[in-house]
Chains A and B, each alone.
Chain A
Amino acid sequence: MPAPTRPTPDRDSREWWERVALGEFAVQECEGCGLRRFPSRAFCVRCRGEGRRWVAIRPVGTVESWVVSHRPFGQGEIVVTIRLDEVPDAVVHGSWEGTGEPEGGSRARAVFTAVDDTLTLVGWREDHGATGTLEDGPLATRSVSDVRSSGGAG
């Protein structure tokens, strides 16, 4: 596998990437109306307020689509589109790290992979009925050093 293209966080997204590096899947929640949003940005699309706080969510969702990339874009790698349970207006893309091809509408949960000391990426795999709270997944048991020491899978 070639090294992944490094993301270039911007002034809206830097904290999101910092939280990912700590093993947290966070989204912004509007302080005015409570609407959650992803990706991170300044304004709430519903009440147009700027006030927001970061909240960790259960990184689980539903497979909405996927693409299998071939030459020149890849060698069979799969990228999935996941609709997040806790932010149903948002989707997130990431590598499919499950078994075989995904199935439409099937359940998935995040897999955090530390590529190196400064970059952690979020992939996805099947979710076999875990309740998906922050306390019960492998995610919650990984310390930052655990996450970072698991590098190499990406």
Chain B
Amino acid sequence: MAKRLLNFPDRTAVVGVGYTPFTKDSQVSTLTLACRAIMAALADAGLDPSDVDGLATHRVGDSVAPSLVGPALGIDDPSWYLDQFGGGSVSHAVAGQAALAVAAGLADTVVFYRAINARSEFRMGQAANPSPEVQYQAPYGLTAPVQHFALAARAHMLKYGTTEEHLGRIAVRQRAHAAKNPRALMRTPITLDDYLASRWIAEPFRLLDCCLETDGACALVITTAERARSLHRTPVLISAAAWGGGQSFLSGADPTVSAAATLAPRLYGMAGLTPADVDVAQLYDCFTYSVLVQLEDYGFCAKGEGGPFAASGEGPPVNTHGGFLSEGYVHGINHIAEAVSQLRGDAGDRQVPGARVALSTSQPGYILPATSALILRSP
């Protein structure tokens, strides 16, 4: 395929991030959560709802559409919107499409939000799953994302000798990060013994391999790099966005290779960067194993070496906010928000000194067979 020149890298920027508190029961609707996160993100950017002409989200029957959120905030005539089906695998694709709309001039300022009551209202695995594969799995009790990832983790253990201690070190390290994050739901440090003593959920996964089902919302404001220069926050440039890749695992794909392996060359190529350039990585961590396999598939270590590599803590700092395992789980958007914070240099006690390039990623293709990711950099 001919190499085309892209009019995309570094043309757009994230200029605001906003959160609601992360809780186990928000007591409010997803519409309220969305509006609060959007207002917080606009305040962070120094903008007003009247500046917004694009809205984007993704959902699986568990949240509110732009057509509801826009009018609720007086954004009555957005020139562009996106209401994408999907959970964690599409979060970065939605951010990427919002940036594309801005780069193409379809919109000037887009807000991407994700608002869920994923603990108190709609728990994952209970939403309608449209995949025809379910009929071959559900009769045997194979219904939950944790089981699918456990199957992949076991296959990695069998093929490469990955151990439960390798997985445990990931959980322990992310909790140490979360201890420095005031937003995090779980801030009490844990040890490897705590990990090994936590109860089984779906062997080889224990409780502490699993993310936190969370009520909460997060929003990002994306505008042109040019406009970003006149706003009061340090802009964070979107250097690359990619989505796609991957195969259905019922179709026999090797479960030890994630969709990230297909995506990574395209992503790095767009940014003109390599894994060695990444200063901080926010890797989708619905379960510990997804961090391990992405360390391999995004090129930080060789295939099969993700266990020892993750356990050693080599490579760039990963999931500096504590990740979904310890901060909270808003399906990917809070990884982007943390990457922005690190690149602006306002991550407080958990700041990675001198971070200039961040990788942020989505669910690496184990449920819906696709993933998505961004490379962000400071100007």
Contacts and interface: CB of A to CB of B under 8 A. Distances in A.
B250 interface: yes
Contacts of B155: 64-65, 81
A137 interface: no
Contact of B132 (A12, A74, A89, A95): A12
A142 interface: no
A123 to B, nearest CB: 8
Contacts of B255: 64-65, 81
A69 B252 contact: no
Contacts of A105: 158
Contact of A81 (B132, B138, B151, B201): B151
B65 interface: no
A68 B203 contact: yes
Interface in B127-164: 132-144, 146-147, 150-152, 154-155, 158
Interface string B237-263: 000000000000111100100000000
Contact of B140 (A4, A68, A89): A4
Contacts of B134: 8
Nearest to A10: B132
Contacts of A73: 141, 143-144, 146-147, 201-202
Interface in B195-248: 199-204
A67 B151 contact: yes
A69 B147 contact: yes
B146 to A, nearest CB: 7
A69 B135 contact: no
Interface string A1-34: 0001111111011000100000000000000000
A94 B154 contact: no
B141 A69 contact: yes
A49 interface: no
Nearest to B199: A70
Residues of A contacting B: mostly: loop
A92 B201 CA distance: 22
A114 interface: no
Contacts of B202: 67-70, 73-74
A93 B203 contact: no
Contacts of A4: 138-141
Nearest to A73: B144
A110 interface: no
A39 B132 contact: yes
14 contacts: A4-B141, A5-B139, A5-B143, A8-B134, A13-B132, A67-B203, A69-B141, A71-B201, A74-B202, A77-B141, A79-B137, A79-B140, A79-B147, A121-B140
